[in-house]
């Protein structure tokens, strides 16, 4: 009989108790953030067909849903507003009585002491052309004119009570402009999340339905090229230099290398967004019986945490939190 190997890594995988003890990465409800959609003119939740299990909410329905989220122990919610009317400059985004700002006040009133209430600071839901900024005479996104709109949005959202502003527009200099606007108007404690490495991804497809996008063309002139890894880190460091309190990589699973780079370098927390396409692919495969739904959800979020994300935006936040708590 020959001697077997002395190094046997399988010893540490032998039983569920050993595997649990040896786990290098763990999930906790407080690390999960739920993106939520509130739509003007609704009286009841309305399902989003390309995102099974995700709905548009009325403000009253949103109150109930955020209460459930807070009771599940998740770390935060990220609010997206869908207005009835849109225009070229996204004027609804800075209207104190616009859907997002009304919803923010309602959510703060409902759960503002027990959960971090976050708001999407971008114009795409509010513009009739669907871009994240205002357009110039040639139809191109005007970076600096868009920053002026972001400044006004920041003040409106902070006035509504948002704890953290999610800057998702990918305009150069957006973090610095928003930080200055907040500080100049007395909102020194309102935090800024820079969607620093946001890629021009095909995985946003279902989100277009979720926000009823009016997009004409694409966003490749301002979102990152999927081919570029170093550029993602450059954007991360730029947002940190401009004063971001947290930085983000989006999407998550196809950009784990960028996420790992950011986590190894950034002095501020790094989050990742498990986007609509990632969600819908797993839901569709599970509905067809091709994969184990719960295991795929848990593995997908765990992989994002393992790559270095301090928190994960995921549409499964509440369901996953309930699994973890049970």
**Do 59 and 50 touch, CB atoms closer than 8 A?**
no
Backbone angles phi, psi at 67, to 5 degrees: -65, -45
Query: Which alpha helices (DSSP H) does the chain contain, by range?
Result: 16-22, 59-72, 99-111, 143-160, 174-184, 205-210, 230-242, 256-265, 276-287, 293-306, 317-325
Q: How far apart are alpha carbons 240 and 248 in whole angstroms?
A: 11
Q: How far apart are alpha carbons 231 and 220 in whole angstroms?
A: 14
Residue 204 DSSP symbol: G
**Do 101 and 92 touch, CB atoms closer than 8 A?**
no
Q: How far apart are alpha carbons 262 and 271 in whole angstroms?
A: 9
Q: How far apart are alpha carbons 69 and 34 in whole angstroms?
A: 8
198 as an active site residue: the answer is yes
CB atoms within 10 A of CB 117: 25
Of the listed 86, 163, 250, 305, which one is catalytic? 250
Of the listed 56, 86, 105, 198, which one is catalytic? 198
Q: Which contiguous run of DSSP H or E holds residue 248?
A: strand 246-250
Residue 58 corresponds to which tokens in the numbers above? 């009325």
Q: Which contiguous run of DSSP H or E holds residue 33?
A: strand 32-39
Residue 125 corresponds to which tokens in the numbers above? 């839901």
Q: Please give the positions annotated as active site.
A: 198, 250
């Amino acid at each position: 009989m020959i001697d077997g190997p002395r190094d046997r890594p399988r010893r540490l995988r032998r039983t569920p108790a050993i595997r649990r003890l040896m786990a290098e990465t763990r999930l906790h409800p407080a690390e999960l953030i739920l993106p939520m959609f509130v739509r003007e003119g609704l009286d009841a939740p309305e399902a989003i067909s390309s995102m099974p299990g995700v709905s548009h909410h009325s403000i009253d329905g949103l109150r109930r849903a955020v209460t459930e989220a807070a009771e599940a122990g998740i770390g935060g919610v990220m609010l997206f507003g869908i207005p009835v009317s849109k225009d070229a400059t996204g004027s609804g985004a800075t209207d104190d009585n616009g859907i997002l700002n009304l919803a923010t006040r309602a959510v703060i009133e409902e759960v503002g002491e027990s959960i971090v209430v976050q708001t999407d600071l971008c114009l795409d839901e509010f513009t009739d052309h669907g871009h994240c900024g205002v357009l110039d005479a040639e139809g191109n996104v005007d970076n600096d004119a868009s920053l002026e709109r972001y400044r006004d949005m920041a003040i409106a959202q902070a006035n509504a009570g948002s704890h953290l502003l999610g800057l998702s527009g990918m305009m150069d200099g957006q973090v610095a402009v928003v930080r200055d606007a907040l500080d100049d108007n007395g909102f020194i404690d309102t935090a800024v999340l820079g969607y620093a490495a946001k890629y021009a991804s095909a995985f946003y497809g279902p989100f277009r339905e979720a926000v009823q996008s009016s997009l004409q063309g694409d966003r490749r002139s301002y979102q990152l090229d999927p081919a570029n890894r170093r550029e993602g880190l450059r954007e991360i460091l730029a947002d940190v230099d401009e004063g971001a309190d947290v930085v983000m990589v989006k999407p998550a699973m196809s950009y784990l290398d960028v996420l790992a780079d950011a986590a190894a370098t950034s002095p501020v927390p790094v989050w990742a967004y498990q986007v609509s396409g990632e969600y819908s692919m797993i839901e569709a495969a599970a509905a067809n019986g091709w994969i184990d739904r719960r295991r795929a959800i848990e593995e997908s979020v765990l992989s994002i945490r393992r790559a270095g994300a301090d928190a994960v935006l995921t549409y499964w936040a509440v369901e996953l939190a309930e699994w973890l708590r049970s």
